[in-house]
Structure 1
Amino acid sequence: MGREPELLLETRGLSRHFGGLTAVDGVDFQLRRGEVRALIGPNGAGKTTFVSLLSGRIRPSAGAIAFEGRDVTRLKAHARVARGIAYTFQITSVFQALSARENVMLAVQRRLTRGLFGPSHASLAAEADSALARVGLAGRADEASGNLSYGHQRLLEVAMGLGMRPRLLILDEPTQGLSDEEVAAFIALIRELSESATVLLIEHNMHVVMGLADRITVLDRGRVLAEGAPEAIRADEAVQRAYLGG
């Protein structure tokens, strides 16, 4: 038997309250290195709040978060990026007037700049072009980001995430607005990426979820409703009632 992959990220009793609303309610969660995990659930289930807690965009009301065995519960978002956690919603507020290449260059620069001397413009551009090519936007590198379609802006966000070379890449609705052909290319990209990074994605496209995820976590009303392989989640009656329309 092969050894089980090591634990990359873990939460214990993670909660977030907004006034009288509990958006995330005592979630225990484990993510193993090299895994592609899908996070699904009905609208208002707490998915975006949960990944915002993981990335440091918001602070938990209770509970703890460990990444690579170290407590990161109180680390700010930029410190988590430096540790290798990239959340596309967080790092990719796309600058509409800049080109696609320039947006990715900013993400690459954020990773590489240390001390007094940063990377050269040429090296930044070369790495940005490589990331854009991986997501199918090589031909749009010089185009102003604001002129890209919504779907292509989502792919630009993924390219910016790739520019961070994260150990954990968190994607929020990455296939929204993509054509069927682009969705197929995205699935292939994530399969390739999973060889060097762990991927956690919020996704409503069940074709993508069932075809891509190693495991699925279902949230409902801020709690984990179910967790398991795609086949088990598809057959789960509670999941069908809450989310899949069963």
Structure 2
Amino acid sequence: MTLLSARGLTRHFGGLRAVDGVDFDLESGRIHALIGPNGAGKTTFVSLLCGRIPVQSGSITFAGQDITRLPAHERVARGIAYTFQITSIYANLSVFDNVALPVQRRGSRTLAADTMAALDRVGLAGLAGQTAGTLAYGHQRLLEIAMGLALSPRLLILDEPTQGLALSEIDGFKALVRSVIPETTVLLIEHNMDVVMDLAETITVLNFGQTLASGSPAAIRANPAVQAAYLGGGHA
């Protein structure tokens, strides 16, 4: 089943065609990766999907409903959670309170238990009382993922989630992402190609704001156009 579908999605900034007529389908209960060179339009594209930036033309449907003009908070309410490329935690609040806010937002009646469960899932339960801004950068990224998971989303969009993670933390991250499937669908924007190839069932490649290719990891790896634009260009 298709959970999210975009058709002709377009967003220009002056003369820059950041997203230029992109068609995109996200299958429910799967891990789908979005890759491409720096400046390919990846973050702009997912910002259109989650409502942080308005669409100029094209349409977006989610769970069969048109969400093209819905504001970001309405999309969150419908089950879309987006973790940012740059951490967006509440630095002055405790780790616990950062996660308690989204748990509260979805109307949980077991606030403390659900908050600790989300922290435990990312391995931060032992740091619940610590001020979030004092965490190591990699732990801040994991906290942000916990905040996303605390919303019990149908779609979790992860923008460069392994940035700042130590090598020893990446295996745990991959296990975490696999653990949310199939209840949650994951869209992964990631430069670490080992992570992408290991996790994703489908990969879409953007280049100059347009879809260059979409397919299985094996098909993407073997695609000459992708090799020329990205995989062979030192961006991996």
* TM-score normalised by L of structure 2: 0.95
Among 23, 26, 45, the alignment partner of 1:28 is 23
Between the aligned partners of 1:65 and 1:223, the Cα distance in structure 2 is 16
Q: Superposition RMSD on alpha carbons, in Å?
A: 1.3
User: 5 Å matches for 1:155-170?
Assistant: 155-170=142-157
Residue identity matched to 1:93: S
Paired residue for 1:212?
199
Among 131, 137, 143, the alignment partner of 1:144 is 131
User: 5 Å matches for 1:41-56?
Assistant: 41-56=36-51
Correspondence 1:178 to 2:165: yes
In the TM superposition, what is the alpha-carbon distance from 1:140 to its structure 2 partner? 1.2
Is the Cα contact below 8 Å between 2:157 and 2:186 reproduced in 1? yes
Between the aligned partners of 1:236 and 1:185, the Cα distance in structure 2 is 30
Paired residue for 1:68?
63
Q: Could you list the per-position Cα deviations for residues 164-220 of structure 1 after superposition, in whole angstroms to 9, with x for gaps in the alignment?
A: 000000000111111122100110111110121100010011110000000000000
Residue identity matched to 1:208: V
Correspondence 1:131 to 2:118: yes
In the TM superposition, what is the alpha-carbon distance from 1:125 to its structure 2 partner? 2.0
Runs (5+) with no aligned partner, structure 1 = 1-5, 113-118
Correspondence 1:37 to 2:28: no
Runs (5+) with no aligned partner, structure 2 = none
Q: Could you list the per-position Cα deviations for residues 140-181 of structure 1 after superposition, in whole angstroms to 9, with x for gaps in the alignment?
A: 111111001111111001000000000000000111111122
Q: Could you list the per-position Cα deviations for residues 79-113 of structure 1 after superposition, in whole angstroms to 9, with x for gaps in the alignment?
A: 001110111129x721111111100001111111x
Correspondence 1:191 to 2:178: yes
Paired residue for 1:115?
none
Paired residue for 1:13?
8
Between the aligned partners of 2:127 and 2:217, the Cα distance in structure 1 is 35
Runs (4 or more) in structure 1 with deviation over 2 Å come to: none
Paired residue for 2:105?
110
SS of aligned partner of 1:75: coil
Correspondence 1:227 to 2:208: no
Residue identity matched to 2:53: I
SS of aligned partner of 2:84: helix
Paired residue for 1:94?
89
Residue identity matched to 1:63: G
Is the Cα contact below 8 Å between 2:28 and 2:182 reproduced in 1? no
Between the aligned partners of 2:184 and 2:105, the Cα distance in structure 1 is 18
* TM-score normalised by L of structure 1: 0.92
Paired residue for 1:85?
80
